[in-house]
């Protein structure tokens, strides 16, 4: 493993923790309201991707995904107590469909197909948060998702084995994080101009 893999993995991990720490604190204080379904899905999926990356030789880049999974489980724990309680039918649809995709992943013995299924499930995991953020953009932290996008990009560079199986998930999550940040910033601006 090259030194630069470890350097990028450590940098990605530090940036990831830097994003999660204030968010975790804000959720505990009740100023941010994460959607419990989103964080349950992300916790499971990042854990699964970690194992896929490890078995495919991801090396230091996989460590970042493992740390992300632990951080997601921590947010899930506080979201259960302090998170968004408004669960809609679309939230249930996203959650159940994501669980089905996870079940299909467990049955798929093809790593690339498994990654596609996990990505599909993860995108569904964003559904409840995207819906909630449209109506309540101040209940999410744009900085968390900005730092998350940077940390996923660095995790790709940190991968020891740069296969599609290893880089596809962090690449897609990098893009979705940017979309969520854009939504938060646009909706906040729209809401502030509407109240003037």
Listed by start position, the domains of the chain span: 3-194
Cβ neighbours of residue 77 under 8 Å, at least 6 residues apart? none
List the structure tokens of 125.
């995991």
> Under a CB-based contact definition with an 8 Å cutoff, are residues 150 and 15 in contact?
yes
The predicted pLDDT at position 196 comes to 66
Q: Which of 83, 81, 190, 184 is nearest to 141 (CA)?
A: 184
Tens of pLDDT along the chain (196 residues) come to 567 888 888 898 899 889 888 888 888 888 888 888 888 888 888 888 888 888 888 888 888 889 989 999 998 999 888 887 778 888 788 778 777 877 777 777 777 887 888 888 888 888 888 888 999 998 888 998 999 999 999 999 988 888 888 899 899 999 999 999 999 999 999 988 877 6
The predicted pLDDT at position 177 comes to 94
């Amino acid at each position: 493993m090259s030194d630069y893999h470890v350097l990028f993995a450590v940098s990605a991990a530090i940036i990831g923790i830097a994003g999660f720490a204030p968010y975790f604190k804000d959720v505990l204080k009740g100023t941010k309201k994460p959607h419990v379904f989103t964080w349950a899905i992300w916790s499971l999926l990042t854990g699964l991707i970690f194992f896929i990356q490890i078995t495919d030789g991801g090396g230091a880049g996989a460590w970042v995904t493992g740390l992300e999974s632990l951080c997601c489980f921590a947010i899930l724990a506080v979201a259960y107590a302090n998170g968004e309680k408004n669960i809609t039918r679309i939230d249930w649809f996203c959650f159940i469909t994501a669980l089905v995709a996870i079940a299909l992943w467990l049955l798929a013995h093809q790593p690339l197909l498994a990654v596609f299924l996990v990505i599909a499930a993860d995108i569904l995991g964003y559904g409840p948060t995207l819906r909630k953020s449209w109506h309540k953009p101040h209940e999410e932290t744009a900085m968390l998702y900005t730092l998350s996008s940077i940390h996923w990009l660095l995790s790709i560079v940190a991968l020891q084995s740069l296969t599609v199986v290893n880089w596809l998930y962090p690449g897609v999550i990098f893009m979705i994080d940017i979309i969520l940040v854009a939504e938060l910033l646009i909706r906040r601006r729209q809401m502030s101009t509407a109240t003037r």
